[in-house]
Amino acid sequence: MINNRVHKDKHDKTSIESLVLGILALLSSIAFFLLIPRKPFGINIIQPIDALEEFSKFTFFLFLILLLCVIAIGSSIVAIIFVIKDFRGIFRGAYISSGKNIYLVGAVLGALSIIFIIGFFIVLLAYSQ
């Protein structure tokens, strides 16, 4: 007979990874929001940079902004995939004794950061017209 109990060390590892990725996604989406220059709303940490005069500084901040966006979206998606994978295992009969809340917090933080970035782009697009 096959034991459907998920081993504690394997379970805790993916639940903690989901939580860490969710926190990373939320923090990088907030940093992404703060680093965009010339926003008509919110805090502007970086002043507008003239790309022709300060090309290296402009390129660095552009790379940093794009990297933060990719990290936020990528870690959000991976955190949500971890939750979907493990909860599909629960519905198939695997037994997870603890840590379901950690999975849910990771997924909620991942979804929140995706919603935050999409909302930020929508508001930025609305203000730019």
Nearest C-alpha neighbor of 29 from the set 81, 78, 73: 73
The answer to whether the CB of 122 falls within 8 A of the CB of 35 is: no
Does residue 118 contact residue 72 with C-beta atoms inside 8 Å?
Answer: no
User: Is residue 41 one of the residues assigned to a domain?
Assistant: yes
Residue 45: which domain range? 8-128
Residue 99 lies in a domain: yes
> Is there a domain that residue 2 lies in?
no
Residue 21 is assigned to a structural domain of this protein: yes
Predicted TM-score of the model (pTM): 0.72
Q: How many domains does the chain have?
A: 1
* pLDDT tens-digit profile, the chain (129 residues): 455 555 554 445 677 788 888 889 888 888 888 877 777 776 777 777 777 888 888 888 888 888 888 888 998 998 888 888 877 776 666 656 566 777 788 888 889 999 988 888 888 788 776
Residue 1 covered by a domain: no
